[in-house]
Amino acid sequence: MLTFRRALVAAAFFITVLYFTTRSTSPAASLAAVEYPKVHPGAADAATRQESQTTASSGSHKPNVGRPGHGSGDGKQKPMKDMSRMTLYEKLAYQFPYDVDSKFPAYIWQTWKWTPANGEFEFREQEATWTEQHPGFIHEVITDKVAVNLLRLLYASVPEVLEAYEALPLPVLKADFFRYLILLARGGIYSDIDTYAIRSALEWIPQTVPHDQVGLVIGIEADPDRPDWKDWYSRRIQFCQWTIQSKPGHPVLREVVSHITNQTLKRKRAGSLRDVVDKNVIEFTGPAIWTDIVFEYFNDDRYFDMANSAGPIDWRNFTGMETARRVGDVIVLPITSFSPGVQQMGAKDYDDPMAFVKHDFEGTWKPESERHIGEQKEQ
């Protein structure tokens, strides 16, 4: 006979079983879940990063001492702050705190007009390599409609970012901006849809470097050692942004998002946004401004002890490099890593141990009617 006491015990047992069974997830979901940084909303900024040695310059150029993302260390939830008086940079730091101790999120982000499920998706071979090389990662191909809705969700508390994104006049500008925005908010890997993953991202960081001391992985796009390099490239050393790996909230991403947002809204109010044509994209949202901001970070006394540095870090620290170099919490990969097989500037072939990503350059400067992110209608 089912007495009240037995019914109560049975109910308690059922609830306990239900609790533990519903907490079990698939391997992919579990991996993604543990990758999120465990920080509080009011966490300290990356200016208090753990001291670590740079290999790109002398031993005196070191990050400031400290651990980001730990706040006061009391382990309590921080109260909501009034963001109305914050600068955009401060808002982004508050909304997306950076914790170098956290793991790299197991996300792969790509963008295109259609998803792989659509019959018109033409990059199935390239897209599949990312899934094959990264089992257990969550791999998303983001369409225009999804991108807009996703950003509205992630940046609802920073409306000026959304205003800037929607005001950008060219889809290629939106595509550039989106990669910075998604990495700042969620972290992981962004790579253009026309890229092949040659090796897993688990191999990108040298084994001698602890992953809890790295928050950003970038590669060299161009190292033009020729007198007329300005006729061909924007910078003497240029970092590529077709493939980037980061932890959420990294200060470089925060800075590039702030810069693009402020410049876009300034041009919008001046009525000059339409003056940004294809040839200006590299400087406005592309690898030129990305490179400038990375170098600014390397020489920013908010993050590095510049007083004891042997000198500024510039292109000379990276030209001709063949192995990965570390500057604070950033790993810089040689040109072979993300540009193998280009047969110039010292890049080696696809079978080189440092070759990680192959780029086909198919979607970079397509006609306006073939652009993605921003103006294409989802089909």
Q: Where are the domains of the chain?
A: 1-34, 38-370
The predicted structure's pLDDT at residue 361: 66
CB 92 within 8 A of CB 254: yes
CATH code at 38-370: 3.90.550
The predicted structure's pLDDT at residue 79: 60
Amino acid identity of residue 48, one-letter, is: T
pLDDT for 99-123, tens place per residue?
999 999 999 999 999 999 998 999 9
Reported pTM: 0.78
Average pLDDT over residues 293-309: 90
Average pLDDT over residues 132-147: 95
* C-alpha atoms less than 13 angstroms from C-alpha of 323 in its C-beta half-sphere: 6
pLDDT for 257-296, tens place per residue?
999 999 999 999 999 988 887 668 999 999 999 999 999 9
Dihedral over Cα of 289, 150, 193, 368: its sign: negative
Higher-pLDDT residue of 78 and 42 is 78
Residue 178 pLDDT exceeds 90: yes
Amino acid identity of residue 107, one-letter, is: Y
Could you tell me where the beta strands, DSSP code E, fall in the chain? 107-111, 138-142, 188-191, 195-197, 216-222, 238-239, 243-246, 325-327, 330-333, 357-359
Residue 27 pLDDT exceeds 80: no
34-48 in b/e form (b: 16+ CB < 10 A) is ebbbebbeebbbbbb
pLDDT for 313-329, tens place per residue?
999 999 999 999 999 99
Higher-pLDDT residue of 290 and 31 is 290
